[in-house]
Amino acid sequence: MALARRRAMIVELRMADSMLSFTKIAELVEEAGLAGPRYSRMSCQRDWKLALQAFMSEESVKRQRALINMRYARLVRALWPKAIQGDTKAVDSLVKLMAEQARLNGLLAPQRSQLEISMHITQLAEISVAAVSVGMDAADLPPEARQLMLDAMRRHFHDLQGQADVVELEALDDAG
């Protein structure tokens, strides 16, 4: 039991003041009677790491999620009657709580967002020609074949320039 209290104290002190040294924390833990007189900075750091590992274990995360869900359920029960009677603040709070609970439990689908990258066709052409040129160097193409490919690319991009000034790219954001 003293070990759990000592580690809890270390976590509290470290989180309250991240600039507090492990040497000072070790002294405070010793003064609180949670460690013997030879409790060192290294022992304190080891306890800190082990406390964090225990906190972040899969079982611990499940327990924390269950505790948060119970708190959300309690808040929902308290707000529900007010929301049903038309209290708009209660409705807003409920919507936020339920959305956060859904996020916590992984119930939200990934959100699709659009990323627009504006690039002039001439810039795209320059980059593409340079990349293909490097690839052709690596492939050791004869100079005639190399020149034919580069000329074809330049013509293609020249034709594109008349059709559009901007290229748009879409990305799927999985950070739902």
pLDDT in tens, 55-68: 777 777 888 888 89
- CA 157: distance to chain centroid? 38
Residue 24, token pair as written in the block: 């000072």
Residues 33 and 49 in one domain: yes
Does residue 158 form part of some domain? yes
Measure the CA–CA gap between 136 and 83, rounded to whole angstroms.
67
pLDDT higher for 25 or 149? 25
Measure the CA–CA gap between 56 and 64, rounded to whole angstroms.
10
pLDDT at 172: 36
Residues 49 and 6 in one domain: yes
Residues 101 and 88 in one domain: yes
Residues 126 and 165 in one domain: yes
pLDDT tens digits, residue range 72-113?
999 999 999 998 999 999 999 999 999 899 888 888 777 665
CA angle 130, 131, 134 (to 5 degrees): 85
pLDDT band at 123 (very low <50, low <70, confident <90, very high): low
Residues 153 and 138 in one domain: yes
Does residue 79 form part of some domain? yes
pLDDT of residue 145 exceeding 60: yes
Nearest of 104, 3, 6, 7 to residue 52 by alpha carbon: 7
Specify the amino acid at residue 165. D
pLDDT at 164: 45
Residues 47 and 85 in one domain: no
| 6, burial (CB in 10 Å: exposed 0-12, middle 13-18, buried 19+) | buried
Residues 73 and 48 in one domain: no
pLDDT band at 170 (very low <50, low <70, confident <90, very high): very low
Nearest of 27, 4, 7 to residue 15 by alpha carbon: 7
Query: Looking at the 3D structure of the chain, how many domains does it have?
Result: 3
Residues 25 and 41 in one domain: yes
Nearest of 110, 123, 103, 131 to residue 167 by alpha carbon: 123
pLDDT of residue 165 exceeding 50: no
Residues 86 and 129 in one domain: no
pLDDT higher for 170 or 112? 112
Does residue 80 form part of some domain? yes
pLDDT higher for 160 or 8? 8
pLDDT of residue 176 exceeding 60: no
Does residue 16 form part of some domain? yes
Range of the domain at 28: 2-56
Residues 71 and 29 in one domain: no
pLDDT of residue 166 exceeding 60: no
Does residue 113 form part of some domain? no
Does residue 114 form part of some domain? no
pLDDT at 169: 35
| 38, burial (CB in 10 Å: exposed 0-12, middle 13-18, buried 19+) | exposed
Does residue 13 form part of some domain? yes
Residues 51 and 40 in one domain: yes
Residues 42 and 65 in one domain: no
Question: What kind and span of H or E run contains 150?
Answer: helix 143-163
pLDDT higher for 52 or 125? 52
Does residue 116 form part of some domain? no
What whole-number percentage of the chain has pLDDT above 90? 33
